Amino acid sequence: MGEGSGAALKATPNADAPRLAAKLGLFDATMIVMGGVIGSGIFVSPSVVARQVHSAALILSEWLIGGVLALLGALIYAELGARLPRVGGEYAYLRESLHPIMGFFYGWVALLVINAGGTAAVSLVFAKYLQQLLPIPVPERILAAATIAVLAVINFAGVRSGSNVQSALMLLRAAAVVMLIVVGVGWYWHSPHASRIAWRPWLDRPVSFDLASAFGSGMIPVMFSYGGYQTANFVAAEIKDPRRNLPRALLYGATAVVALYVGVSFVCMAVLGPNGMAASTTPASDVMRRTVGARGAGLVAAGIMISALGFLSQSVLTYPRVFFAMAADGLFPAGISRISSRTQVPVIAILLSSLLTVAVVLRGHFDAILVYVESMDCLFLGLTALTLFVLRQRQRTGEAEPAFRVPGHPWTTVTFIAANWLIVANSFYRNRSNAGLVLGILLAGVPLYWYWNRKSRRNRAAPIADGA
């Protein structure tokens, strides 16, 4: 399995034991990159941005700047993937470059908040739209939980099975977004009822701290919509020739997503106008309703449902690899690192991740958690980008040249780190309880880290002591 199997080898010291299998090609990896980003958010986020900044120039600037930051992030993760193509992605980079506890903190937050809370919420979005299109006499929460269970079973069958479903749903999502863009642009240029975008005034208020804060608040839903490309690095050990294919997948996938998202934001603004966007809670549906009637709104509802399902499929495929890697390193219970001898996937990690998500869905108390998902994501995106400085320093001491290097480093990397941490700072400034919850979640993991780390060290030392 090559150099990407370091964590798997720790989990399976027996040479005959099953290991994660490298079965994913460039196309599969590219679909995973895009699948981690394109979800139901792009169909509603344009209106959230328009409620923060009110001029056409500022609205489009939010999406363009967010796209540039997403591309910078993809470039950084491309080099990290080329240097350390290991299972677990961000967890592995933080563990190897900064300290094992930093990797543990990321996995801990991913387990409790980013994956469980975020995936639970999206599963309810899927259930809601599915019931609108196909009236099913089942409560939304039960339908959402059943969806997670079905996706888990699909992924139990193997990484190829999970990837095929994810790729098919990704193509359907891309088709829905392209349809929205084509219909909106066609209507804008040819309909006599279309009003041309008024680009001036460029700013909706004088340059001030208030404008900067509003722009920063608008970046939160933008960055949330653009986030997720990094999850492709979680499955690096299951990608063929990951040092070459993972960077290419990140660049191809991120570029395609930026083009689609800027297109959606332009279309929403062109058809609805800045004020119409701000007043709408379902901008994509309103665009289709205005351009092709009620049937168009139904098509968007189907697109949102498919996008939500695709996001769920991608989450069930990728996030368990983080927990598997942590268990393989001795920082989670050892059983989570078990791999199926038949399908070569981390079945216990998939089961754990899915059960936690189902528990959050059924309990229902996750709305508050979602407020913190993006701030935590941005916090660890910045920390992970910081590891590139450490890895480059090591490279100068004799490591082989990676297949890809971030252009413009260190300036591009510093820009990415600063932008993400400014978003976190703005989020904490506007809601100071965020900082307290983040700190509380991290501190809650400290005793567990020390327990599992000490137990792991004791287990590694046991054979030596027995043989003395």
**What average pLDDT does the chain have?**
82
Could you report the per-residue pLDDT of 160-206, keeping only the tens digit for each? 777 788 888 888 888 888 999 999 888 888 776 656 666 666 776 66
Question: SS3 for 83?
Answer: helix
401-406: average pLDDT: 85
pLDDT at 194: 59
Scanning the structure block, which residue is given the tokens 């995936």? 119
What's at 370, amino acid-wise? L
Segment 449-461 mean pLDDT? 82
Helices 56-83 and 411-430: crossing angle in degrees, nearest 10, is: 120
Taking residues 359-377, report their average pLDDT: 67
* For helices 56-83 and 242-279, angle between their N-to-C axes, nearest 10 degrees: 160
Q: What is the pTM of this model?
A: 0.84
Name which of 212, 207, 225, 173 is nearest 66 in CA terms. Answer: 225
Residue 155 in this model has a pLDDT that exceeds 90: no
- Name the residue ranges covered by the structural domains of the chain: 23-455
Q: Answer yes or no: are the C-beta atoms of 225 and 45 closer than 8 Å.
A: yes
Q: From CA 425, how far away is CA 427, in angstroms rounded? A: 5
Say how many C-beta atoms besides its own lie within 10 A of residue 241's C-beta. 15
261 Cβ contact list (under 8 Å, min separation 6) = 42, 63, 66, 67, 225, 226
State the CATH architecture for 23-455: Up-down Bundle (1.20)
d(CA 398, CA 279) in angstroms, rounded, equals 57
Cβ atoms of 113 and 369 closer than 8 Å: yes
Q: How many CB atoms are closer than 10 A to CB 148? A: 24
CB of 56 closer than 8 Å to CB of 274: yes
**Spatial distance between the Cα atoms of 216 and 281, rounded to a whole number of angstroms:** 20
Identify which of 315, 174, 312 has the alpha carbon closest to the alpha carbon of residue 232.
Answer: 315
- Give the mean pLDDT of 68-90: 91
Q: Is the pLDDT of residue 338 over 70?
A: yes
pLDDT, tens digit (0-9, with 9 covering 90-100), for 266-278: 998 888 888 888 8
| pLDDT band with cut points at 50, 70 and 90 for residue 214 | confident
Task: Give the DSSP letter of residue 404.
Answer: -
> Could you tell me if 228 and 264 are in contact, meaning their C-beta atoms sit under 8 angstroms apart?
no
pLDDT above 90 covers a percentage of the chain that reads 26
Q: How many CB atoms lie within 10 A of CB 154?
A: 18
The whole-angstrom separation of Cα 121 and Cα 115 is: 10
Residue 370's alpha-carbon distances to 121, 398, 443, in angstroms, are 8, 43, 19
Mean pLDDT of 89-108: 92
Angstrom distance (rounded) from CA 300 to CA 445 = 41
